[in-house]
Structure 1
Amino acid sequence: MDVIKDLSGSEHEPITCIDMHTCGEPTRIIIKGYPSLTGSLLEQRSQAKSQYDHIRRRLMLEPRGHFDMYGAILRQETELTKSGQADIGVLFTTNDGYSTMCGHATIALGRFLVDTHDLEMFPNRKKLQLDSEKGTTFVRLHAPCGLVEVTVPTKEDGMKSDPSRPVTFTSVDCFATGLNITIRLPNNPVWPSDFSIVADFSYGGAFYCFVNVRQLPFLNSLSKFDMDVANQFTKALKATINNDLELSHVFRHPKENDLSFLYSVILVDTDLGVPLPGSQGAESGLCFFADQQVDRSPTGSAVSARLALAYAHKKLKTGNSWTYHSLVSLKRNDRAAFMGTVLEEVKIDIPMQYPCVKTQIEGHASYTGYHTFVVETNDLLGNDGFTMKGLAE
Structure 2
Amino acid sequence: MDVVQQLEQNGAIKCIDMHTTGEPTRIIYSGFPHLTGTLLEQRDQAKSQYDKIRKRLMLEPRGHYDMYGAIIIPETELVQSGEAHIGTLFTHNSGFSTMCGHATIALGRFLVDTHDLTVFPRRNDLKPDLAAREVKVNIHAPCGLVRVTVPTSEDGQKSDPSRPVTFLSTPAYCAATSLQVPIPAEVRWPELGDKTSIEVDISYGGAFYALVDIQKLGFSTGLRNFNLDAVTFAVKKLKRHLETDPQVRKALQHPEDERLSFLYSVMVVDHEIGFKPDGAAGAETGLCYFAGDQIDRSPTGSCVAARMALAHEKKLRAKGQAWAYNSLVSNHFNTGAFTATIVEDGIPIEGQNSETRHGVVIHVQGNAYYTGTLSFTVEEEDLIEIIAARCVIHFQIGPVQNI
TM-score normalised by structure 2 residue count: 0.93
SS of structure 2 residue aligned to 1:381: helix
Deviations 1:93-126 (A, max 9, x none): 0100000000000000000000000010101111
Equivalent residues in 2 for 1:263-282 (5 A)?
Answer: 263-282=264-283
> Gaps (5+ residues) in structure 1?
none
1:217 deviates by 2.9
SS of structure 1 residue aligned to 2:308: helix
The farther-off stretch of 42-51 and 195-204 is 195-204
Corresponding residue for residue 48 of structure 1: 46
> Gaps (5+ residues) in structure 2?
399-403
- Paired residue for 1:83, among 81, 84, 98? 81
1:131 deviates by 1.1
1:192 deviates by 2.8
Question: Is the contact between residue 207 and residue 261 of structure 1 (CA under 8 Å) also seen in structure 2?
Answer: yes
SS of structure 2 residue aligned to 1:214: coil
Corresponding residue for residue 230 of structure 2: 229
Give distance in 1, aligned partners of 2:2 and 2:323: 51
1:219 deviates by 5.4
SS of structure 2 residue aligned to 1:382: helix
1:387 and 1:224, CA in 2 relative to 1: closer, same or farther beyond 3 A? farther
Question: Is the contact between residue 255 and residue 356 of structure 2 (CA under 8 Å) also seen in structure 1?
Answer: no
1:196 deviates by 1.9
1:319 and 1:2, CA in 2 relative to 1: closer, same or farther beyond 3 A? same
Corresponding residue for residue 31 of structure 1: 29
Matched AA of 2:242? I
Corresponding residue for residue 361 of structure 2: 358
Corresponding residue for residue 308 of structure 1: 309
Give distance in 2, aligned partners of 1:285 and 1:148: 23
SS of structure 2 residue aligned to 1:129: coil
Deviations 1:273-312 (A, max 9, x none): 1321111100000000001000000000000000000000
Equivalent residues in 2 for 1:65-84 (5 A)?
Answer: 65-84=63-82
Give distance in 2, aligned partners of 1:153 and 1:194: 49
Give distance in 2, aligned partners of 1:339 and 1:333: 13
Corresponding residue for residue 320 of structure 1: 321
Give distance in 1, aligned partners of 2:162 and 2:397: 42
Matched AA of 2:308? L
Corresponding residue for residue 380 of structure 1: 383
Deviations 1:171-191 (A, max 9, x none): 000100011111122333523
Give distance in 2, aligned partners of 1:247 and 1:164: 41
- What is the number of residues matched between the two proteins? 389
Give distance in 2, aligned partners of 1:389 and 1:186: 30
Give distance in 2, aligned partners of 1:112 and 1:381: 33
Equivalent residues in 2 for 1:186-335 (5 A)?
Answer: 186-187=184-185, 188-190=188-190, 191-218=192-219, 220-334=221-335
1:245 deviates by 2.2
- Paired residue for 2:112, among 111, 114, 117? 114
Give distance in 1, aligned partners of 2:211 and 2:326: 15
Corresponding residue for residue 369 of structure 1: 372
**Is 2:5 aligned against 1:5?**
yes
SS of structure 1 residue aligned to 2:385: coil
Instruction: Report % sequence identity.
Output: 51
Corresponding residue for residue 158 of structure 1: 156
Question: Is the contact between residue 172 and residue 206 of structure 2 (CA under 8 Å) also seen in structure 1?
Answer: yes
Give distance in 2, aligned partners of 1:235 and 1:389: 17
Corresponding residue for residue 346 of structure 2: 346
Corresponding residue for residue 64 of structure 1: 62
Question: Is the contact between residue 106 and residue 368 of structure 2 (CA under 8 Å) also seen in structure 1?
Answer: yes
- Paired residue for 2:168, among 156, 167, 170? 170
Give distance in 1, aligned partners of 2:241 and 2:195: 13
Question: Is the contact between residue 219 and residue 230 of structure 1 (CA under 8 Å) also seen in structure 2?
Answer: no
1:243 deviates by 1.1
Question: Is the contact between residue 89 and residue 96 of structure 2 (CA under 8 Å) also seen in structure 1?
Answer: yes
Give distance in 1, aligned partners of 2:25 and 2:275: 26
Matched AA of 2:362? T
Give distance in 2, aligned partners of 1:244 and 1:306: 21
Corresponding residue for residue 401 of structure 2: none
The farther-off stretch of 325-334 and 280-289 is 325-334
Matched AA of 1:116? T
1:374 deviates by 1.2
1:355 deviates by 4.0
